[in-house]
Structure 1
């Protein structure tokens, strides 16, 4: 059995994702594909445009055999934590032979070299990093300049400007850190950058697709997503279950901030950023303006979004200190071929496999991380125009194709 692992969000699944999947299968020559997918909230620090089951359905129709949920505490975290959680989960399945990820660089050797330095942190790198941080630079910029200094390679600055390169480096770091036997591959990304807001070219970005849906409606993206994605989105929107955006949670987040809900224990809060957020919350009634008022050279928009999302979902620092990766395997969907992989995983993994949510307490020794997933779904459905019920995880069926 040759099994490929991929890490996805499919927010939503578009033509570029389909290209990556097809090229990954060609490159690795694997017979089966397992995807670890973010649930209802994603690494960008936002809710997914439609829920995890609809996106799992997209994944299965694209040709993936088994979809497993990445716990929300990792799915909404920094690139480093996101990558570590996802890679650790793939490795824990004990059936994954290789992993393929997209990157703007397309050069696995170069990305691996950067990952080695970041993991090992040689003395000259640590000195350069400390010096740069002392100048008041953001951690990302300080790290970038330190890498350029120790390698003498100016092109690293360009490499670290794009999100897929950064995630790719973090995937490689995680594989090295846990000494995984999974073999990495990278597919050179084609089309628009992840952050592009323009709906154009052969492969538009997920960001531009979400923006177009919000501003122009679902028909505006029909040339940029597979037919099955379009149909799933149309069905969800017709049922009042999307599109979901961060702005939908403005009243709740602003209420929490104005009521003085403590931020100091929320993940990624440090250096007085909580005071800036409280101050901004007193001047506006929506998230978009709050982020604008808070962001600065030191406090990036991405970091602020993550903090606000962690506040909304009650994700605190303790969860990252007390867990070393996901401690369960939550199945969202599978194909007929996926049944075969699932049987193999059951034979080999040491983690409990959750297919019936009602049984989670008897299967997971410490269920705090899983309960964040359940809570995240309860919060997410508050943005539905109808069917905004709680406990959806307990009765929504696994997606089978």
Structure 2
């Protein structure tokens, strides 16, 4: 995958042309290249695919990070049903994050997921329910709808991952836009998976464009680090990180313009904008005060 051989590329192109999604086409090309059907079970699992691409990225960057593999227990990544004790024995229940999110989005009482999350997490969910939680896909319907209508005349190919065909399909179907989740289903075809469409629409909503991404890549992706919280007994570790890091460690947003380069500051502004879009959805849904990113404090435990 790091240095794709011609035989792999040929099969990959054939599978993509046949309408398979990229992950499925890539898996088929790998099985064909190694001529080993036994690989199918290994590389068809979402977590395994993710792990493989993590290792590819580490190799590409010549990173000194040493990866370790852990066997996933309980429910699979894509499961939408909560797990049961029979899945892993009587000791514990291990459900997928997707199934937990699905249960919350389905308005199930939090008591229904109590056995599937840590007690501290349940306490936080109960504390914030109806104040800042839950936020679902359709809570961003209006924000995305405005941007789609505002830019439909020029198309959406400037945005990350949006091909000309997908852009044309979005423009064609925008008149049927009712909700974000329904629009994703409406756009979905054998060529465009649910995951890809969701990702592309998020890029459009957040204004994430190809030109900007290319600029960030040329700058080696990461231009700053921003701690969101820390334990009081870890202050020395944070200080050590600040002394030895190769990028600015941003403690206060108010200091950002003086500390960061123009490119890093532009990246931070995109980060803040994304946070504000989310906080706007929270404020509108629960009729609470808008939480401005510049007024938020670092969490100390």
- Taking structure 1 as reference, are residues 164 and 337 closer, same or farther at Cα in structure 2, changes over 3 Å only? farther
Tell me by how many angstroms 1:331 deviates.
0.4
CA distance in 2, matches of 1:377, 1:224: 28
Q: CA deviation at 1:333?
A: 1.1
Given the two structures, how large is their TM-score scaled by the length of structure 1?
0.67
Q: Which residue is 1:44 aligned to?
A: none
Shift in CA distance, 148/382, structure 1 to aligned 2, threshold 3 Å: same
Query: In structure 2, do the counterparts of structure 1 residues 336 and 154 end up closer, same or farther at CA, with 3 Å as the change threshold?
Result: farther
Q: Secondary structure at the match of 1:188?
A: coil
Q: State how 1:377-396 maps to structure 2 within 5 Å.
A: 377-384=275-282, 385-389=286-290, 392-396=292-296
Note the alpha carbon deviations across 1:357-388, whole angstroms, 9 max, x for none. 11111122112221111001110012211334
Q: CA deviation at 1:200?
A: 2.2
2:118 paired with 1:226: yes
Matches within 5 A, 1:260-279: 260-261=151-152, 262-279=155-172
C-alpha RMSD over aligned residues: 1.7
Instruction: Quote the residue 1:254 is aligned against.
Output: 145
Structure 1 residue 284 corresponds to structure 2 residue 177: yes
Picking from 51, 54, 63, the partner of 1:171 is 54
Listed as ranges, the matches of 1:265-344 within 5 Å are: 265-323=158-216, 324-344=220-240
- Unpaired runs of at least 5, structure 2: 85-92
Alignment of 1:18-33 (within 5 A): none
Task: State the match for 1:368 in structure 2.
Answer: 266
Runs of 4+ displaced beyond 4 Å: none
Shift of 1:153: 2.0
More strand by proportion, 1 or 2? 1
Asked if the contact 1:242–1:383 (Cα under 8 Å) also holds between the matched residues in 2, the reply is no
In terms of mean alpha carbon deviation, does 156-165 or 367-376 score higher?
156-165
2:298 is matched with 398
3-state SS of paired residue (1:267): coil
CA distance in 2, matches of 1:340, 1:135: 56
Q: Are 2:19 and 1:123 aligned?
A: no
Which entry has the higher C-alpha Rg, 1 or 2?
2
Please, which of 151, 158, 161 is the counterpart of residue 34 of structure 2?
Answer: 151
* In the alignment, structure 1 residue 213 sits paired with structure 2 residue 104: yes
Higher helix proportion, which one? 2
SS of 2:95's equivalent in the other structure is coil
Q: Distance in 2 between matches of 1:160 and 1:337?
A: 41
1:197 shift after superposition: 1.0
Deviates more, 1:135-144 or 1:303-312: 135-144
CA apart distance, 1:156: 2.7
TM-score scaled by structure 2?
Answer: 0.88
Asked if structure 1 preserves the Cα contact closer than 8 Å seen for 2:227 and 2:250, the reply is yes
Given that residues 195 and 205 in structure 1 are in contact (C-alpha distance below 8 angstroms), is that contact kept between their aligned partners in structure 2?
A: yes
Residue 193 of structure 1, CA deviation: 1.5
CA contact (8 A) 2:95 2:116 kept: yes
